[in-house]
Amino acid sequence: MKTTGRRRVPLRVAIVGAGKVGTVLGRVLVEEGARITAVVSRSRSSARSAAAFLRCRTHGDALTAIPPGTDIVFIATPHDAVAGVASTLARLEGLEFGRMGACHASGMLTASVLEPLAERGATVFSFHPLQTFPRSFPPRRIVPLARGIWYGADGPRPGLRMARRLARTLRGHIIEIPPEFRELYHATCVVASNHLTVLLSVLREMYGRVSRKEAPRLDPFRPIIEATVLNVFATSPASALSGPVARGGVETVAKHLEAVRASLPALLPYFTRMTLETARLAIERGSLTPERREALENLIMSYMQDSSTTGNRK
């Protein structure tokens, strides 16, 4: 909230795109004292149900629903719709562009996509929530996980100031992303969430083979996963690394690679590549003698050549 004299003025935000991100962040805003001035979406039904969740009476499928006095228009549409929304919005009359901010939630796009709005005097910025909002989860379940998160932002200085204010209202923080690294930033976010999910899916597939269940629960692995994450955050990936590669246990690693090739050949490229990355980390940590390092690298390389022919999934 902004303070004018002794009165606290709530931030007034319009949401465009009543999907997971718009609905969840809109709800955090409401719970933190902001006011949603309008919810606009491609379909009226999405706008209506999100508006009910966001305690907002103004909703519809046209941007003209956004009232003057809105402080920030938050565009939470899919990224390929952002440019269209920005240029339609910039053509509207009746909005106070000079005192209005506009942002979008796309990880791939910079603030420059909002240029038509900047030309009308709006303060623009990108505002990508560094969190996962799975489509199959109800918004209520995601809301608690959307507080205290980070937002990848860029834009002119006033835009970054406004991004900070919006993030503060959401109990979060921003990280400034240089526009030239936007795509690499988004690929980095993919590693943090999607690759982690895939890693857990590979774990489940391997454990499924060991336990003879097709899709067993991962509960027995939860303590080791959680301890590993805690150790990495408390120190660094190199310090937290344990296991046969870090110890230079070439014989054990050879048996692991052979076991994967024999039982789950489709996973061999993944397992081999990850073993190579583990060896790189062990080298960074300085825990391998030159002889062990060479033996390990030769072993992994022989399987990498092999896995390019055995690893094709149907």
Ligand X SMILES: NC(=O)c1ccc[n+]([C@@H]2O[C@H](COP(=O)([O-])OP(=O)(O)OC[C@H]3O[C@@H](n4cnc5c(N)ncnc54)[C@H](OP(=O)(O)O)[C@@H]3O)[C@@H](O)[C@H]2O)c1
Q: Which positions touch ligand X (CB under 6 A)?
A: 16-22, 40-43, 46, 76-79, 81, 84-85, 105-107, 128-129, 132-133, 135
- Given the complex with ligand X, which of 51 and 253 has the nearer CB atom? 51
Q: How far is the CB of 76 from ligand X (least distance, A)?
A: 5
Q: What is the CA radius of gyration of the chain?
A: 24
Crossing angle for the helix pair 250-263 and 268-285, to the nearest 10 degrees: 160
Residue 27 Cβ vs ligand X, minimum distance, rounded to whole Å: 13
We find the least distance from the C-beta atom of residue 22 to ligand X, in angstroms, to be 6
Q: Smallest distance, Å, CB 108 to ligand X?
A: 7
Identify which of 256, 263, 273, 275 has the alpha carbon closest to the alpha carbon of residue 307.
273
To ligand X, the closest distance from the beta carbon of 23 in angstroms equals 7
Q: Which amino acid is at 114?
A: L
Q: Which CB sits closer to ligand X, 83 or 254?
A: 83
Kindly tell me which of 22 and 101 has the beta carbon lying closer to ligand X.
22
Sign (positive or negative) of CA dihedral 37, 38, 39, 42:
negative
Which is nearer to ligand X, 105 or 122 (by Cβ)?
Answer: 105
Dist. CA 119–CA 109, nearest whole Å = 18
Helix/strand/coil (H, E, C) string of 268-313? HHHHHHHHHHHHHHHHHHCCCCHHHHHHHHHHHHHHHHHHHHHCCC
Q: Choose among 194, 103, 192: nearest CA to 149.
A: 192
DSSP 8-state symbol, 37: E
Q: How far is the CB of 61 from ligand X (least distance, A)?
A: 7
Q: Where do runs of H (alpha helix) occur along 172-289?
A: 182-190, 196-211, 222-234, 237-240, 244-247, 250-263, 268-285
Q: How far is the CB of 200 from ligand X (least distance, A)?
A: 17
C-alpha span between 127 and 76 (Å, rounded):
10
Question: Could you give the CA distance from residue 96 to residue 69 in angstroms, rounded to a whole number?
Answer: 7
Q: Which two tokens stand for residue 156?
A: 């002119």
**Owner of token pair 């899916």:** 201
Q: Tell me whether residue 28 or residue 299 sits nearer to ligand X (CB atom).
A: 28
Residue whose beta carbon is closest to ligand X = 19
When the beta carbons of 105 and 288 are compared against ligand X, the nearer one is 105
Q: Which is nearer to ligand X, 16 or 118 (CB)?
A: 16
Closest distance to ligand X from the beta carbon of 88 (Å)? 8
